[in-house]
A and B are shown apart, each in its own frame.
Chain A
Amino acid sequence: MTLLGSFALWAAFLLGCWSAGLSFFGNWRENPATALAVRRGVYAVCAALLVATLSLWKGIFSHDFNIEYVWAYTSRNLPEYYLISAFWAGQKGSMLFWAVVLSIFAALAQALTSQRHKDLLPYVAGVTNLVVIFFVGVMLFAHHSNPFERMAVTPPDGNGLNPQLQNPGMVMHPPMLYLGYISITIPFAFGIAAMLAGKLDAGWIIAMRKWALASWIFLSVGITLGMWWAYVELGWGGVWAWDPVENASLHPWLVLTAFLHSVMIQEKRGMLKRWNMGLVVGAFLLSIFGTFITRSGVISSVHSFTQSDIGYYFLAFLLVSAILSFTLLYTRWPSLEAEVQLESLVSRESAFLFNNLALVGIAFSVLWGTLFPIVSEAVRGTKISVGPPFFNRVNVPLGLLLLFLTGVGPLIAWRKASMANLQRQFILPTAGFVLTAAVLLVAGLRSFYALMSLALAGFVMVTIVQEFQRGVRARMSMYQENIFLALVHLVERNRRRYGGYIVHVGIVIYFVAFTGLAFKTEKSVDLTPGETATIHSPFGYDYTLTARGVSQYVMLNRKVTAATLAVTRNGKRIGDIKSEKRQHMDSFGNDTFEPSTEVGIISDLREDLYVVYAGSIDGTERAHFTFHVNPMVSWFWIGGAILTLGGILAMWPGGPQVRTRRRRSAAQAGYSVPLAGVAE
């Protein structure tokens, strides 16, 4: 299997080189057979990498511990679903995962893109192949990076998977995030292809729009799952720690979010072409930067893979990609001039521009904070740490500005808004803002940022409801539809727009959840079985926890020490909660890794009771616990689901273009609009 895998890697590498060479230097414009060969080259690279992938999975599932990677990340008693995730648990496997997924996306881009954009496709193939070649090349040539590397002897059992990775969230979170990072290459490839081909009209935007949205959805899901994993697995009761690797996932997400907004201006008004090209290139470079951060060890992070020289390869690739991309952008600068100029400061285009500024500003701010320890050390020669207090202080005001602009954008008319338009549009959302703030002030909320966050959330929600309500009312009066049908048709007819509003609802919910979590309460206690402790929640409830004892047992691949508590809320029993210490072991019963903690959670829409069993006191059943009451946490997962749903709705096939064409052809029979001087 390792021989087949290594052979497949070499085949992918050589085929990729050949196909990329043909893309950039072949005469495919004159000879359609060359264009076909380029396309087939992409498919062949994909096939070769699929063979390599299956070879590694075969090694994993057959417990071939002679393969170093299989030994390092699996063991005989590892549950099968974690054998799947072991594929991307380590550096080498994740590199292969990256390469194979990119090759699949590259093949899909070739197969699914309309032939209208056939002038771009060979260049797209060239760019995607170059990125694939880079990843395969690192596996083949970098020291200790080949996933098929064999060991001198075959150990009887493997090292096993890190206990913190033995969590359902870890089966889904890394691949989702990788899918997001990887799929950014496709919009980037279309951007570079458009510049190389000199076809800088809206064609490349139309060809890659859904890819950009897909990347954004994958990243959103990946980030949300990462938050969930951190919450249920790490035991600190939070969802976001501003760790450099977490931040690295946020950079491309923010830049892609900016792109998805500004691209609408290019489509509708022919503006911001240079900016959009810059954003696509930036998103790609930031995805590579994230990989560099994760794998180089240049910035310390709990998420990093082990330090290795692989980081230098990524740094070189990042620099070369940046230089080539921006040089190309510079040479095409005149061709990317806007077709029309912005007409008014008070217009939707302008609001989108400021929204872009806020998004890119936050991306810069997070990048700046991530790199500031290096900058500071270089300037002052002193090591510093940049943690959550820094990021919160810098980013909360920018986040609130973004939330405000999220509400403002849809309220302002395209081109130029009149005063009457502004009055009509803003009156209800402003009332929503004032009312929310007043209610919270009366309820006793005095934190300025929390107050602003929740009041702005009210503002944006009223904006969105107003947009839906106006659309539904218009349809009800125009087509005599009932409210439900009008809503369905409204969304169906303009999926991008209303899908976008649903995404905004998800974002608002995120803000509310983050604001709520700032009011968490915590308490450390020791309890002997039968003893009770009480913790007061921010919503005014009293949770009373009674220790029921500590039990020890063996389960699957681990020895478990479990502490159970009975829980009442304001005197009413709501169930039992259990937190565990797990000592993982190999199939011979030998301990592997440090003991890990599994938290116990009782969750509802208001708050989570979150219990961590810290350990035994004096080796007895008297146990040390940390209790947290975390408000609004469920809303992170609800917000994430709504956001994803909105994104999927926005990119769902069909929609207005198809219908527009159909209606136009029908309209020709009934009426015509004379347009003097407009060439059809």
Chain B
Amino acid sequence: MTSSRRDFLQYAALGVLPMLWQGGAPQDTTKKPGGGVTPDRLGEPMLGGRLVDSTDKWDNDAGIIAIEQRLRCRCGCMLDVYTCRTTDFTCTYSPTMHREVIALVVAKKTPEQVIQAFIASDGEKVLMAPRASGFNIAGYIVPGVAVTVIGLVLAAYLSRRRTVAIAVGAGAVPGAPAPVSGPDQEQLDRLKRALDEVES
């Protein structure tokens, strides 16, 4: 990519013109590829991918965004429609889905009806998360229930063992001296470990 002096002067002139035209607004003057550009036009308009549509009032509408965040883009990117259309600008599916959502909202459909319309056309896989109904409830509750049940069983088991241990201790004849017995190996090992810990 080399530039001749003529190119250089051309670029310089084209760089100065828009500044004069727009009252000195800061402009970049390094439009190289393509050459011969008009002040406001890119040298290679398609270099950055497909041209995009102008933003309209729906693009930042909280209601539209909330609906789109519940819908998965058809392009297979794993993103929701809103994230895809504001992230992957090569995707042609998410702008289409965005327009479909707007059309339904303009037709006075509630968010739930919009979602239903997409499920009717695309199936349940269009949802970013399955509805918590029918078998899908298992998806939502199995981990929590599993952790809770195991936690409760564990707590009950540990408490019961402690209760049994206390009951065994209480089973001795009241007033009778506690049976004298030497420490068992486990207790001695524990004592030794405790002393080691103190030393360390």
Q: How far is the CB of A386 from chain B (nearest CB, A)?
A: 6
- Count, chain A residues at interface, CB 8 A: 98
**Contact partners of B147 in chain A: CB under 8 A:** 357-358, 361, 365, 398, 401
CB within 8 Å of A: which of B176-200? 182-183, 186, 188-193, 195-196, 199-200
Decide if A421 is an interface residue (CB 8 Å cutoff): no
**Contact partners of A236 in chain B: CB under 8 A:** 79, 83, 86-87
CB within 8 Å of B: which of A555-607? 559, 561-562, 564, 566, 581, 583, 594-595, 597
**Contact partners of B54 in chain A: CB under 8 A:** 526, 617, 624
Q: How far is the CB of A619 from chain B (nearest CB, A)?
A: 3
Residues A384 and B124 in contact, CB atoms below 8 Å apart: yes
Residues B146 and A551 in contact, CB atoms below 8 Å apart: no
Residues A530 and B47 in contact, CB atoms below 8 Å apart: no
- Nearest residue, chain B, Cβ from A345: B158
Q: How long is the Cα–Cα vector from A343 to B33 in the complex, in angstroms? A: 77
Interface string of A229-247 (1 = CB under 8 A from B): 0000011111001010000
CB within 8 Å of A: which of B44-71? 44-55, 59-60, 69-70
Q: How long is the Cα–Cα vector from A478 to B130 in the complex, in angstroms? A: 60
Q: How far is the CB of A235 from chain B (nearest CB, A)?
A: 5
- Which of B31, B128, B129 is packed against the most chain A CB atoms within 10 Å? B129
Decide if B5 is an interface residue (CB 8 Å cutoff): no
- Which of A241, A354, A621 is packed against the most chain B CB atoms within 10 Å? A621
Decide if A438 is an interface residue (CB 8 Å cutoff): no
Known: A388-B128, A621-B42. A677 touches B70 (CB 8 A): no
Decide if B96 is an interface residue (CB 8 Å cutoff): no
CB within 8 Å of A: which of B107-141? 123-130, 134-136, 139-140
Q: How far is the CB of B188 from chain A (nearest CB, A)?
A: 5
CB within 8 Å of A: which of B1-53? 1, 18, 22, 25-34, 40-53
Interface string of B150-166 (1 = CB under 8 A from A): 11001100110110000
Decide if A394 is an interface residue (CB 8 Å cutoff): yes
Known: A364-B146, A667-B199. A523 touches B60 (CB 8 A): yes
Residues A390 and B140 in contact, CB atoms below 8 Å apart: yes
CB within 8 Å of B: which of A592-648? 594-595, 597, 612-622, 624, 626
Known: A394-B140, A552-B32. A530 touches B199 (CB 8 A): no
Known: A522-B86, A616-B45. A664 touches B199 (CB 8 A): yes
Q: How long is the Cα–Cα vector from A662 to B193 in the complex, in angstroms? A: 17
Decide if B174 is an interface residue (CB 8 Å cutoff): no
Q: How far is the CB of B23 from chain A (nearest CB, A)?
A: 8
Decide if B93 is an interface residue (CB 8 Å cutoff): no
Q: How long is the Cα–Cα vector from A583 to B42 in the complex, in angstroms? A: 15
Decide if A529 is an interface residue (CB 8 Å cutoff): yes
Q: How long is the Cα–Cα vector from A494 to B90 in the complex, in angstroms? A: 54
**Contact partners of A526 in chain B: CB under 8 A:** 54-55
Decide if A524 is an interface residue (CB 8 Å cutoff): yes
Q: Which of B40, B80, B86, B129 contacts A524 (CB 8 A)?
A: B86
Decide if A350 is an interface residue (CB 8 Å cutoff): yes
Q: How long is the Cα–Cα vector from A553 to B144 in the complex, in angstroms? A: 54
Decide if B172 is an interface residue (CB 8 Å cutoff): no
Decide if A660 is an interface residue (CB 8 Å cutoff): yes
* SS of A interface (majority): mixed
Residues B130 and A385 in contact, CB atoms below 8 Å apart: yes
Residues A612 and B1 in contact, CB atoms below 8 Å apart: no
- Which of B44, B78, B144 is packed against the most chain A CB atoms within 10 Å? B78
Q: How far is the CB of A316 from chain B (nearest CB, A)?
A: 27
Decide if A485 is an interface residue (CB 8 Å cutoff): no
Q: How long is the Cα–Cα vector from A236 to B78 in the complex, in angstroms? A: 12
Interface string of B82-114 (1 = CB under 8 A from A): 010011111000000000000000000000000
Decide if A281 is an interface residue (CB 8 Å cutoff): no
- Nearest residue, chain B, Cβ from A383: B125
Decide if B175 is an interface residue (CB 8 Å cutoff): no
- Nearest residue, chain B, Cβ from A236: B87
Q: How far is the CB of A391 from chain B (nearest CB, A)?
A: 8
Residues B188 and A675 in contact, CB atoms below 8 Å apart: yes
Q: Which of A385, A548, A673, A675 contacts B129 (CB 8 A)?
A: A385
Residues A397 and B55 in contact, CB atoms below 8 Å apart: no
**Contact partners of B33 in chain A: CB under 8 A:** 552-554, 559
Known: A301-B78, A617-B51. A385 touches B72 (CB 8 A): yes
Q: Which of A364, A562, A597 contacts B89 (CB 8 A)?
A: A597
Residues A241 and B78 in contact, CB atoms below 8 Å apart: yes
Known: A530-B22, A552-B31. A583 touches B48 (CB 8 A): yes
Decide if A369 is an interface residue (CB 8 Å cutoff): yes
Decide if B171 is an interface residue (CB 8 Å cutoff): no
Known: A344-B162, A615-B52. A357 touches B150 (CB 8 A): yes
**Contact partners of B139 in chain A: CB under 8 A:** 368-369, 372, 375-376, 386, 390, 394
Known: A234-B87, A616-B51. A678 touches B192 (CB 8 A): yes
Residues B47 and A561 in contact, CB atoms below 8 Å apart: yes
Known: A342-B161, A390-B129, A552-B43. A616 touches B48 (CB 8 A): yes
22 contacts between A and B (CB under 8 A): A236-B79, A236-B87, A238-B83, A302-B78, A339-B189, A358-B147, A368-B143, A369-B139, A375-B139, A384-B130, A389-B69, A548-B26, A549-B27, A552-B42, A552-B44, A553-B30, A559-B44, A594-B49, A612-B87, A614-B52, A622-B40, A624-B55
| Additional 8 contacts, C-beta under 8 A, given A236-B83, A388-B128, A551-B30 | A353-B154, A361-B150, A389-B69, A525-B55, A529-B18, A529-B26, A594-B49, A624-B53
Kindly list the 5 A-B residue pairs having the minimum CB-CB distance in the complex, ordered from nearest: A619-B45, A581-B48, A365-B143, A530-B25, A361-B147
